[in-house]
């Protein structure tokens, strides 16, 4: 699932995360699994903050 495909409420929650741990916890609480590559991007920042991050979310 692409970030753009998330519900507006989920996008707002993701944008409000202040760090990688909050974003990972949010994904888990929403039942969204992040791939290893997504986790690397979240944990490493890859030049993006949680506020501007547009990761590809996968949901099983």
pLDDT by residue (tens digit) across 7-34? 899 889 988 988 888 888 998 998 888 8
Domain parsing of the chain, residue ranges: 3-44
Residue 4 has, within 13 A of its CA and on its CB side, a CA count of 0
- Closest alpha carbon to 56 in 40, 21, 25: 40
SS3 assignment for the chain = CEHHHCCHHHHHHHHHCCCHHHHHHHHHHCCCECCHHHHHHHHHCCCCCCCCCCCECECC
Output the pTM of the full model.
0.66
pLDDT by residue (tens digit) across 32-53? 888 888 887 777 655 444 544 5
């Amino acid at each position: 699932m692409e970030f753009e495909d998330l519900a507006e409420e989920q996008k707002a929650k993701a944008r409000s995360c202040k760090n990688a741990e909050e974003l990972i916890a949010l994904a888990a609480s929403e039942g969204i699994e992040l791939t290893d590559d997504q986790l690397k991007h979240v944990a490493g920042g890859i030049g993006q903050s949680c506020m501007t991050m547009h990761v590809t979310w996968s949901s099983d």
